[in-house]
Structure 1
Amino acid sequence: MKVLKFLSKSTTTQMVIATIGGMVFGVLAGAWAGNLKFIGDIFIRLIQMSIVLLVMTSVISAIGEMAREKEASKLGLKMGMNTFKWILFFTFIAAGLGYFMAVLIRPGEGMSTVETLAVEAPEALGFQETLTNFVSTNIFQAMATADMIPIIIFSVLFGVGLNILVKNTGSTLILDGIKEVNAITLNVIQVVMKVAPIGVFCLLANVAGTTGLQIIFPMIQYLGILLVGVILMMVFMALVLAARCQVNPLLLPKKFVDMSIMALTTTSSAITFPTALKDCIEKFGVRRDVANFTMSVGMTMGSAGAAMCYVVMIVFMQQSAGVQLAPLELLIGIGLAVMLTLGTITVPGSAAVVATFLGTSLGLPLESIALLIGVDWFAGMFRTFLNVNNDVFVSVLVANSIDAFDRDIYNEKKAA
């Protein structure tokens, strides 16, 4: 009874069982497992139906909320600019690294033999026509067809207008209403994610029944790319820190131990935040007020690990479908992946929602996201590890730029 009670409460355990069970059942049942595909399709549609509302309310409320944010101006423009500079720098480096590794290793090719994933590549549009189509003449039509980029552009403009309204009138009635709709939408997705194990089981059973055990290799390759990418990014950030701050990078591993263990075991940046903030001050020598600001912003926006993961998702879906995206479409996809890390769209069950968002935005088929969902707990370990450690690197670099970095604490010559 205790085991059953544990299984009923542990979503992670349910997902692991669904992933393994779906693959085993598909291999044993063969082509018959395709009869379960419609259940998985329903699960995907349940996510898709909330994407438009989630994106719009997230972007609008994030931009509108800036009218009430005064913390950055209190702590100084220079610190704020340096924080965003380093966050964006590491995020784009991680996204680029994820792209090149995915292109090199090609994890999605193992899925390309699945007949249901084979689609014709969309006809490439010219540069001017592509940019023109970013702006919709009818936002409701864009919403009805889930044309995500025009929706985002409209949401940004609406958010700017709302920001101006809040500043001029002080009224937050509309902003609060949009934030409540966003919260409701998140609740809807949380309810949908309760049936995620069933959806994953059915989707993987269908794929495994078609391809057999070869689907295991794309999953291992996908996780392997993230693992190697995280290691390379940690080395790169350590070298940047050593060069900019003139410190010994060999002291870094033991400083990261506590927060890294917390990140790997909880897969949550929010839960790891208190440990990371404490270590940032006491082990790395960042002044408390600077750490409070940079680490808080980093927890929301500093997601190099997520950027790398999302870009690998795009390449995985592209390769599994045998679709060649135009260079401009790839740049758009990478830009969307980076945007998803900047605090405007934080959702439960991120793998399912993010993969659906990116696939819908780029016109890619969504069948292959079952594999991404199935191993997302392991991918989440790598994402969170890099996200949290990246925040500390950013904090030290910012502190060094405004003379708020104590090298004696970093070198363990004195206590904070």
Structure 2
Amino acid sequence: MGTEKSSKKKLSMTTQILIATIGGIVFGSVVGPRAANLKFIGDIFMRLIQMSVVILVMSAVAVAIGSQQGKGVGKMGFHTFKWIFIFTLFAAVLGYVLCQIIKPGVGITIVNPTEITEVAMSGSFQDTLLGFFSTNIIASMAAGNMVPCIIFAIIFGLACSVYTSTSGDDIILRWLKGINGVVLNIIKMVMKLAPIGVFCLLANISGAIGFKVVLPMIKFLACLAIGDLIMLIVYLPLAGFRCKVNPLAMPKKFLKVSMLAMTTTSSAICLPTKMEDSVTKFGVSRRISDFVGPITMSMNSNGAALCDLCYVCFLSQACNVTLTTPQIIMAVCLAIMLCLGTITVPGGAVVTMTFLATSLGLPVEAIGLLLAIDWFSGMFRTLLNVDADIIIAMLVANAEGELDRDVFNEVKTVDYIA
């Protein structure tokens, strides 16, 4: 009886993260800049997750494809990339429209910008595509270049499928499944530290950087918040209608991964939780989750596409530069390409901002203000990225006939780790 009572009283991970979020903000506000001393603890937590992400992604994709033995991968990939393109294009266009209504850059006084030490290199469309293919997969894994790693994993999985079907020997596939299971357990152990990591990260943001910087940029953040809301209002009924499930039940299911997304501002950190929740809460099959989850993490950055167009519009409005129609079209295309070739990690927006500004011939003087609130922007970017990824997984699972509505409706439960 005592054991049952203690298990009932145990706080869920979502509740622990929520408490850590509030506690970190309050602690940082009270302590001030000295809270920055806790940042290294939050960084350790993030590194513990990040050190396993590449192996998790590659093993999951390779197993998902290798297990098919040549059947169904093409259809699954088609549905995945179809929804990625539709969602990303919608997000980019919506970002531009919202900025024309809210005008986040109008009335902003340009201050001395934060010094930018990284410069994004502009490249042709051919160069961008060429960068998707690695000459050294070990170097790409070490650098965390996710798209080349995913492409290699897809090719490896296809080759593994051919080898298994022709030789009858599934040792490689079983070996990959074992590695994937071990890495999942590593991440499951690390996730127990999530409340501590979140507390320390937010204490640093609240204390060292301060929340006063948000005030002059409230219109910019409003564009992101309203954009997130509009897209989720569109996406949830769309998924509910096509998948024949109740969309009103989805917000509660999104709560845990959404909290993690907003506090860590990293799609990579959220990947394990996103993949697990897709299976255990939304009824997506493990096969679909292992295939769609890593790919959408790297290529379905809806929130980033929305944010990229807001960057462009803010820079043009703050610097009193009128964008031409070709520039607007180019900005949308660049946002889509950036989303297909990048992975959202905290602090990575400086390269994106510089790339967009230089590619479109916009002044970079206003980038300092954007950098000052990038953590807050990252909250909205990552929230939409992660939630939209799960919705795409549902849509693909529905198309493949692998959506378990009993799991979604909580009639039965399943475990992610077999």
- TM class by shorter-chain length? 0.5 to 0.7
Residue number among 95, 98, 112 corresponding to 1:98 in the alignment: 95
Distance 2:63 2:256 in 1: 32
Matches within 5 A, 1:227-242: 227-242=225-240
1:318–1:181: structure 2 CA closer, same or farther, 3 Å change rule? farther
TM-fit CA distance, 1:274: 1.5
Give yes or no for the alignment of 1:82 onto 2:111: no
1:236–1:180: structure 2 CA closer, same or farther, 3 Å change rule? closer
Distance 1:402 1:180 in 2: 31
Residue number among 112, 127, 133 corresponding to 1:155 in the alignment: 127
TM-fit CA distance, 1:398: 0.3
The one-letter code of the counterpart of 1:304 is N
Distance 2:251 2:406 in 1: 17
- Asked if 2 retains the 8 angstrom alpha-carbon contact of 1:351 and 1:372, the reply is no
TM-score (norm 1): 0.63
Give yes or no for the alignment of 1:7 onto 2:5: no
TM-fit CA distance, 1:77: 0.3
Distance 1:367 1:360 in 2: 12
SS, match of residue 366 in structure 1: coil
Give the match for residue 377 of structure 1. Answer: 375
- More divergent stretch after superposition (342-351 vs 382-391): 342-351
Note the alpha carbon deviations across 1:137-194, whole angstroms, 9 max, x for none: xxxxxxxx9882xx2234146558xx6xxxxxxxx7x44597499679xxxxxxxxxx
1:116–1:97: structure 2 CA closer, same or farther, 3 Å change rule? same
Give the match for residue 390 of structure 1. Answer: 388
Distance 1:152 1:12 in 2: 40
Give yes or no for the alignment of 1:356 onto 2:328: no
Identity in percent: 40
TM-fit CA distance, 1:407: 1.1
Note the alpha carbon deviations across 1:62-91, whole angstroms, 9 max, x for none: xxx9xx989658551000010011111111
Q: Structure 1, unaligned stretches of length 5 or more?
A: 14-64, 118-144, 164-171, 185-196, 202-212
1:224–1:323: structure 2 CA closer, same or farther, 3 Å change rule? same
Note the alpha carbon deviations across 1:369-405, whole angstroms, 9 max, x for none: 1111111111111111111101100000000001001
1:180–1:116: structure 2 CA closer, same or farther, 3 Å change rule? same
TM-fit CA distance, 1:317: 0.3
- Asked if 1 retains the 8 angstrom alpha-carbon contact of 2:99 and 2:223, the reply is yes
Note the alpha carbon deviations across 1:297-332, whole angstroms, 9 max, x for none: 111111101110111000000111111111011110
Distance 1:146 1:407 in 2: 45
- Asked if 1 retains the 8 angstrom alpha-carbon contact of 2:299 and 2:343, the reply is no
- Asked if 2 retains the 8 angstrom alpha-carbon contact of 1:301 and 1:341, the reply is yes
The one-letter code of the counterpart of 1:411 is N
Matches within 5 A, 1:283-302: 283-302=281-300
- Asked if 2 retains the 8 angstrom alpha-carbon contact of 1:305 and 1:384, the reply is yes
- Asked if 1 retains the 8 angstrom alpha-carbon contact of 2:225 and 2:380, the reply is yes
1:147–1:3: structure 2 CA closer, same or farther, 3 Å change rule? closer
TM-fit CA distance, 1:359: 0.3
Question: How many residues are paired up?
Answer: 295
1:70–1:357: structure 2 CA closer, same or farther, 3 Å change rule? farther
- Asked if 2 retains the 8 angstrom alpha-carbon contact of 1:95 and 1:338, the reply is yes
Distance 1:105 1:3 in 2: 33
Give the match for residue 408 of structure 2. Answer: 410
- Asked if 1 retains the 8 angstrom alpha-carbon contact of 2:64 and 2:288, the reply is no
TM-fit CA distance, 1:351: 2.3
Give yes or no for the alignment of 1:273 onto 2:271: yes
- Asked if 1 retains the 8 angstrom alpha-carbon contact of 2:120 and 2:355, the reply is no
TM-fit CA distance, 1:10: 2.8
SS, match of residue 110 in structure 1: coil
Matches within 5 A, 1:7-46: 7-8=36-37, 10=39
